[in-house]
């Protein structure tokens, strides 16, 4: 298995531009998570999906951020308009939640390093 | 001006020694805990996990101890190697598969 795939690996954009980050979870996993990592705040959960349905988006900083999961093998995190304070590494992770609601480890992708100038 | 970042706790050990990394978690209802290792420029990598009905779990060279009374988690690495140098995070499942991560501890292994 290729693991969690994220693209692009690096993104440099100017303030005000739209940014779209992409994620392909591990095949067979039913939960997908988006995280943001900064030196100031560490690793923060932004939103997560279970069976393609958003379950908890309380970590999404503001309305400029949105996430979608149109199918089990693809998710996007969009920032529009982007601001310099959005500069961070964004990670996608996936896991398999068992039938009894038993949680298992989350597997992380390599991350997208976003720089907003 | 420059932003002030997190000052991660740092543990420095000699190659071959055992390492113990500690973590305090916040939610007494958390039922699942994970230790992750993150190397520079990479995503967090799963090391070992433990459920709340256990107090100890062993893997290859690693052991996790869980003390629910004081909400404390530790990771023990036996015979630490230079390749173990990384930032280590504990994470707790506070419900619904939602993980909350600790701030991390930087492990530095001296050859």
For residue A85, the SS3 value is helix
- pLDDT tens for residues B6-58? 568 899 999 999 999 999 998 888 989 999 999 999 999 999 999 999 999 99
Q: Best of A3, A25, A42, A59 to disrupt the B interface by mutation (most B CBs within 10 Å)?
A: A42
Indicate whether A99 pLDDT > 80: no
- Residue A104 pLDDT grade (very low, low, confident, very high; cuts 50, 70, 90): confident
pLDDT of residue B82: 95
Alpha carbons A20 and A81: distance in angstroms, whole number = 11
**Comparison of pLDDT for A106 and A21, the residue scoring more:** A21
Q: Which residues contact B29 (CB under 8 A, 6 or more apart)?
A: B94, B95
Answer yes or no: do B42 and A95 touch at CB < 8 A: no
pLDDT (average), residues B57-63: 96
Answer yes or no: do A107 and B46 touch at CB < 8 A: yes
Nearest residue of B to residue A43 by CA position? B101
User: Percent of chain B beyond pLDDT 70?
Assistant: 94
Candidates A110, A109, A111; CA nearest to A25 is A109
Alpha carbons B81 and B96: distance in angstroms, whole number = 36
- pLDDT tens for residues A43-93? 999 999 999 999 999 999 889 999 999 999 999 999 999 999 999 999 999
Nearest CB partner across the interface for B6, out of A40, A105, A107: A40
């Amino acid at each position: 298995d290729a693991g969690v795939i994220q693209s692009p690996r690096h993104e440099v954009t100017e303030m005000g531009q739209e940014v779209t980050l992409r994620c392909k979870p591990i095949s067979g996993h039913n939960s997908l998570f988006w995280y943001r990592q900064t030196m100031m705040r560490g690793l923060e959960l932004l939103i997560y999906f279970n069976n393609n349905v958003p379950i908890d988006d309380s970590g999404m900083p503001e309305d400029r951020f949105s996430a979608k999961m149109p199918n089990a093998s693809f998710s996007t995190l969009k920032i529009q308009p982007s601001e310099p304070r959005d500069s961070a590494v964004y990670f996608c992770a996936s896991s398999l939640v068992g039938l009894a609601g038993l949680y298992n480890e989350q597997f992380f992708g390599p991350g997208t390093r976003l720089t907003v100038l | 001006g420059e932003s002030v970042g997190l000052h991660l706790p740092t543990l420095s050990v000699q190659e071959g020694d055992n390492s113990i990394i500690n973590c305090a978690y916040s939610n007494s209802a958390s039922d699942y805990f994970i230790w992750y290792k993150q190397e520079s420029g990479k995503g967090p990598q799963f090391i070992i996990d433990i459920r709340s009905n256990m107090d100890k779990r062993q893997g290859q060279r690693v052991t996790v101890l869980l003390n629910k009374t004081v909400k404390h988690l530790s990771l023990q690495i036996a015979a630490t190697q230079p390749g173990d140098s990384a930032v280590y995070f504990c994470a707790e499942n506070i419900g619904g598969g939602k993980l909350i991560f600790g701030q991390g501890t930087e492990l530095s292994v001296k050859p």
